[in-house]
Copies of this chain bind each other. A is one copy, B any other.
């Protein structure tokens, strides 16, 4: 049996192996500080061939492999286990843009490329890569693929799965599955690569991808409005869709309490509305042709909405700076919620028809198990994704265990409302460690059984990111 550390160093070079006790901390803990694992090494291969060698070595020694991108995940999927032998495999050195094509509207990247860098590479050839989310400055595309990331533009461009044309994956036996094609149509049997998207590294390690690009928007307009209740928010969405067609690129909503939390903790963020409405809606239009017709379109739609009493008030941004100011409110939800207390977060998605029922039901259900919890909501209404946060005061709990028990009870209550309405417990954050028990409870048994059978088929030793997704 080879000694693991020198063998890893022989593959990736000694400078790229971090042994225990040597600054491993950032890589064995998630960014929210909720999970802490142990690793015999943090290893940073340079390319897919080295990833393959590392996997072969680890598997031969029965050592688990935990792939890690930007380590910005919300569910602890990139943290090594607390027990057993494991290696954290960082993808950050796989950071090449392999090629971009304006003719084929595609870009091929290493899995460790940072999302914002891919957006910029697309922009340089006058194209758009539309995936957009809070962590885009540090998250890596391999992680985005592994959680089937969503973000604010799914309404128009789809999720990460729909943005992916080709994939390169190191399988649990170390072999390289190469489907790095840029083909827009392909009807040649089972589409194997689909299994690795959203799999959080439990079926293999994504090392590269070919992604779709789009014509770049050349005009946009942003507005914010306030509505009395969620039924009006939905009626506004329906009106916006019929008046604005596919110019509508974002339709975001925040509950009043969410906006109150922002106002309380981030006084530097200007909120140009009174806090008397039930919901605050951010609407963005964009167009791939130049022109100045969008603000007028938006104004006409909002005028009609005012007349129909779907909104109490609304403003259309009259400058880029004002548009950014409105988006800043939306982008302040995470920071302000964190400042408010201990956040029990739910990345729920519910069919639009049931969304109003969900919102009513979930508030009552949380109040029942955690009286006085601050319940705030913000979501991508257009795609049914509503983030429901219960914010607790940690000082009200005897210890961390009591706090976690309460969090679990709240999640149980949320799922009790969500699942019967046909919702899913994770829209875009994934499962990781945080949601394993919820998935086991909420998913249909046959689906769970098939997931387990696929896992056993591809990773019979169970060494690929063990303990994530499936319990």
- Residues of A whose CB lies within 8 Å of any CB of B are 101-105, 126, 147-150, 154-155, 158-159, 161-162, 175-179, 181-192, 194-195, 197-199, 203, 214-215, 218, 234, 237-238, 241-242, 244-247, 287-289, 297, 347, 349-353, 380, 382-385, 422-431, 435, 439, 442-444, 446-447, 450-451, 453-455, 457, 469-470
Contacts and interface: CB of A to CB of B under 8 A. Distances in A.
Contact of A191 (B161, B181, B238, B244): B161
Contact of A349 (B185, B214, B351, B470): B185
A363 to B, nearest CB: 21
Contact of A424 (B159, B186, B245, B425): B186
Contacts of A426: 186-188
A353 B107 CA distance: 13
A197 B443 CA distance: 21
Contacts of A297: 289
Interface centre among A234, A353, A428 (most CB of B within 10 A): A353
B383 A184 contact: yes
B245 A289 contact: yes
Contact of A184 (B155, B179, B187): B155
A186 B289 contact: no
Contact of A183 (B214, B242, B384, B446): B384
Contacts of A455: 190
A130 to B, nearest CB: 11
7 contacts: A103-B353, A184-B382, A186-B427, A191-B194, A192-B451, A194-B195, A215-B241
Contacts of A447: 177, 179, 192
Nearest to A177: B446
Contact of A247 (B159, B288, B427): B288
B191 A148 contact: yes
Given A126-B242, A161-B191, A197-B191, A185 B154 contact: yes
A104 B189 contact: no
Copies in the complex: 2
A217 to B, nearest CB: 8
B150 A214 contact: no
Contacts of A442: 188
Given A192-B451, A203-B190, A185 B385 contact: yes
A194 to B, nearest CB: 4
A218 B241 CA distance: 13
Contact of A234 (B103, B181, B190): B103
A353 B104 contact: yes
A132 to B, nearest CB: 14
Contacts of A198: 187, 189-191
A451 B189 contact: yes
Given A175-B446, A183-B349, A184-B154, A288 B103 contact: no
A102 B361 CA distance: 23
Contact of A384 (B177, B184, B289, B347): B184
Given A197-B191, A451-B190, A184 B203 contact: no
B126 A187 contact: no
A288 B247 CA distance: 8
A107 B102 CA distance: 34
A325 B23 CA distance: 70
B234 A430 contact: no
A177 B450 contact: yes
Contacts of A158: 158, 162
A399 to B, nearest CB: 31
Contacts of A181: 351, 422, 424
A107 to B, nearest CB: 13
Interface centre among A103, A147, A234, A425 (most CB of B within 10 A): A103
A151 to B, nearest CB: 9
Contact of A288 (B234, B245, B425): B245
Contact of A188 (B154, B188, B424): B424
